[in-house]
């Protein structure tokens, strides 16, 4: 709840300051300040190494998170643009079966570097829809074994950086004649990563996890 409140406070401060921002609804550059919900999967799809004997049917789930996001978009034409996003999100991974409730990964921080090529169909009404797709690279900058994994003897942990694909759709609502919009955006990622647990330097567990998060955003955009 505190994270969600912080995101809302950030968007509120931007909205208060927005009258001072001079924009252009036909400009080439658009910047969006968004509140974003990151809703990952975290499901195990393959166990590659198991030296400790995981219970049969062990399965996992990553927790959700709410973070502020900045999106920067360049319009090549009125219909075609390229967008990238900047955010840092943090997740734990808990077992849902086999070792139900055991925390296996703690405070995994990642940057979901994403570029999407977007198409903006010309519409007659105030709603401006768009669709996009592009590559994503999940860069894990910090991770550690959870309390449950430590209880099994793991004292080291690593998540592999991973390439994936993102599909995108959303709508912009212009709210003035100076390039300001309210934006609603949804991205679906398709990406998997390998997780490694170590005991005194020896890899004791290695699993492949399907992350495939939904990333849902809402906020304000300014076009220049």
201: left (phi over 0), alpha (psi -120 to 50) or beta: left
pLDDT digits (tens, 9 = 90+) for 161-178: 999 999 999 999 999 888
Quick one: pLDDT at residue 23? 67
What pLDDT digit, counting tens, does each position of 29-39 carry?
999 999 999 99
- Give the Cβ contact number of residue 181 at 10 Å: 22
11 has a pLDDT exceeding 70: no
CATH number of 114's domain: 2.40.160.20
Those residues whose C-beta lies under 8 Å from the C-beta of residue 164, and which sit 6 or more positions away, are 135, 136, 137, 138, 189, 190, 191, 192, 211
Residue 200 belongs to some domain of the structure: no
Asked if the structure places residue 48 within a domain, the reply is no
| Domains in the chain, number | 1
Its domain, for residue 181, covers 2-40+54-190+212-223
At residue 126, the pLDDT reads: 86
Any domain includes 206: no
Residue 49 belongs to some domain of the structure? no
Residue 31 within any structural domain of the chain: yes
Average pLDDT for the chain: 90
In a domain, 205, yes or no: no
Tokens 């709210």 appear where?
A: 175
Whether 148 is in a domain gets the answer yes
- Say if 207 falls within a structural domain: no
10 Å Cβ neighbour count for 72?
13
């Amino acid at each position: 709840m505190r994270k969600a409140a912080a995101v809302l406070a950030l968007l509120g401060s931007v909205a208060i300051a927005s009258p001072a921002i001079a924009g252009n609804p036909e400009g080439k550059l658009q910047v969006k300040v968004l509140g974003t919900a990151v809703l990952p999967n975290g499901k195990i799809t393959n166990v590659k190494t198991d030296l400790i004997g995981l219970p049969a049917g062990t399965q996992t789930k990553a927790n959700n998170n709410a973070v502020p996001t900045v999106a920067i978009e360049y319009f090549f034409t009125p219909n075609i643009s390229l967008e990238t996003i900047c955010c840092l999100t943090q997740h734990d991974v808990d077992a849902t079966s086999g070792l139900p409730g055991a925390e296996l990964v703690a405070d995994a921080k990642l940057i979901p570097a994403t570029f999407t090529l977007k198409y903006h169909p010309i519409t007659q009404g105030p709603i401006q829809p768009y669709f996009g797709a592009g590559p994503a690279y999940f860069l894990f900058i910090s991770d550690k074994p959870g309390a449950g994994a430590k209880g099994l003897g793991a004292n080291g942990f690593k998540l592999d950086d991973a390439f994936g694909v993102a599909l995108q759709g959303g709508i912009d609502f212009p709210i003035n004649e100076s390039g300001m919009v309210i934006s609603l955006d949804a991205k679906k990622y398709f990406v998997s990563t390998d997780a490694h647990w170590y005991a005194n330097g020896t890899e004791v567990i290695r699993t492949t996890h399907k992350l495939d998060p939904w990333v849902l955003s809402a906020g304000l955009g300014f076009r220049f």
